[in-house]
C-alpha cells in the first residue's frame, strides 16, 4: 500500500499567509509531500492562486478576482495572515509581510509562478490544484489550466507525469462538470471529485464517474467511514480535507485514506511517525 500523502492546504497556512510562496516553501521545509492551491481566472484570463471570490480577506485590496486584470491584482498586498481557526479577518489583522509587494510575499501568486517553483526541484512537492467556480467561465478555466500544465511539462501524454511513483499534479473541483471537462481535455491529469454538502447525498453514485479520486470533507468521513472502503473497492482513491484535529488525523490514517489535506502538515507528519 502506498503511504498516505500529506498535502499542505493553501501552503502551510498555520505558519504563513495562505497562497504565498512563503507558505509553499514552509510546506516543503516541514516535509509535506504535496501542496494544495485554489485557482481563479482573472478578467484577462490568467489563473491566480486566490481562494475567495473577492480579494478582501487575503489582501489590502477590494474587488472580485474575475472582474480584475492581473495588473490590477498586482497592485494589492497579498501577505495577509489568517488567524488559526476559521474566524473572519479583522482589518487590523491584515499584516504586510514586506513593505513592498514582491513575488515571495505580497504579490498575488499566479499559478505559473507556483508551477515554476514546484518544477524547479521536481519531486520535492506535488501539487493539487482546485479550480474555484469554473462553470462560470465555460471551458476557459480548464483550458487555462491545461495551458499552464503544458508550459511546465506536467500535462502528461495520456498518462500522469509521476514523481516518486505518484502523479506530480492533479486537478480538483466541487463541480462535476469541471471534472468531466478536465478528463476530456487532459486525460493524463488525475482528477479529484470534491464532495461538499451539495454532493453528499450522491456520494456513492459519484464512484461510477470518471474522477480518479473522491475528495470528501472530514465531516463526511466521520459520519460515513465506510465510504473509504467503498471508494477503494470501486478503484478510487480518497483525498480527504481539511483535517486539522489530532483525532481526525488518527481516524483517517486508520481508515487508510490516500491523501490528507491539512493546515498543519508538521503535526500530521509527526502523528504518522514521519516528523522532523
Query: By C-beta, is 19 or 232 nearer to Ca ion?
Result: 19
Cα gap 31→38, rounded to integer Å = 21
Binding partner at 176 among ligand G3P, Ca ion, none, C-beta below 5 to 8 Å by kind: none
Which of 5, 18, 33, 38 is the binder for Ca ion (CB under 5 A)? Answer: 38
Residue position matching grid coordinates 493546515? 263
Q: Which residues between 142 and 171 bind ligand G3P (CB under 6 A)?
A: none
**Burial 106-133, CB ≥16 within 10 A → b, else e:** bbbbbbbebbebbbeeeeebbbbbbbbb
> Between 86 and 100, whose beta carbon lies closer to ligand G3P?
86
Q: How far is CA 48 from CA 20, 37, 83, 270, in A?
A: 11, 9, 22, 32
Residue with the shortest CB distance to ligand G3P: 241
Which residues lie across from 214 on neighbouring strands? 193, 238
Q: Which helix (H) or strand (E) holds 66?
A: none
Instruction: Report if residue 263 touches Ca ion, rule: CB under 5 A.
Output: no
241 binds, among Ca ion, ligand G3P, none (CB under 5 to 8 A by kind): ligand G3P
CB 131, CB 173: distance < 8 Å? yes
Smallest distance from ligand G3P to CB 52, Å = 9
Residues of this chain that interact with Ca ion (CB under 5 A) are 38, 130
Interface residue list for ligand G3P (CB under 6 A): 9, 36, 38, 51, 130, 172, 194, 215, 241-242, 261
Amino acid at each position: 500500500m502506498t503511504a498516505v500523502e500529506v498535502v499542505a492546504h493553501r501552503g502551510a497556512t498555520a505558519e504563513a499567509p495562505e497562497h504565498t510562496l512563503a507558505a509553499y516553501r514552509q510546506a516543503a521545509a516541514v516535509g509535506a509531500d504535496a501542496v494544495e492551491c485554489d485557482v481563479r481566472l482573472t478578467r484577462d484570463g490568467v489563473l491566480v492562486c486566490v481562494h475567495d471570490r473577492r480579494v478582501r480577506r487575503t489582501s489590502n485590496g477590494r474587488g472580485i478576482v474575475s472582474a480584475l486584470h492581473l495588473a490590477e491584482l498586482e497592485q494589492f498586498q497579498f501577505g495577509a495572515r489568517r488567524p488559526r481557526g476559521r474566524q473572519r479577518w479583522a482589518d487590523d489583522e491584515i499584516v504586510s509581510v514586506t513593505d513592498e509587494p514582491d513575488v515571495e510575499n505580497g504579490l498575488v501568486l499566479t499559478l505559473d509562478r507556483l508551477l515554476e517553483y514546484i518544477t524547479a526541484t521536481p519531486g520535492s512537492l506535488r501539487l493539487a490544484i482546485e479550480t474555484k467556480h469554473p462553470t462560470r467561465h465555460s471551458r476557459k478555466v480548464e483550458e487555462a489550466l491545461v495551458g499552464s500544465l503544458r508550459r511546465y511539462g506536467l500535462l502528461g501524454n495520456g498518462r500522469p507525469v509521476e514523481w516518486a511513483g505518484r502523479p506530480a499534479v492533479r486537478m480538483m473541483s466541487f463541480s462535476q462538470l469541471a471534472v468531466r471537462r478536465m478528463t476530456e481535455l487532459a486525460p493524463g491529469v488525475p482528477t479529484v471529485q470534491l464532495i461538499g454538502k451539495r454532493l453528499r447525498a450522491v456520494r456513492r453514485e459519484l464512484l461510477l464517474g470518471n474522477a480518479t479520486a473522491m475528495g470528501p470533507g472530514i465531516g463526511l468521513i466521520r459520519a460515513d467511514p465506510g465510504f473509504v472502503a467503498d471508494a477503494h473497492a470501486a478503484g478510487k482513491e480518497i483525498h480527504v480535507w481539511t483535517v486539522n484535529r489530532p483525532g481526525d488525523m488518527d481516524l483517517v490514517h486508520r481508515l487508510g485514506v490516500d491523501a490528507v489535506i491539512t493546515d498543519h502538515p508538521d503535526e500530521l507528519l509527526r502523528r504518522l511517525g514521519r516528523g522532523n
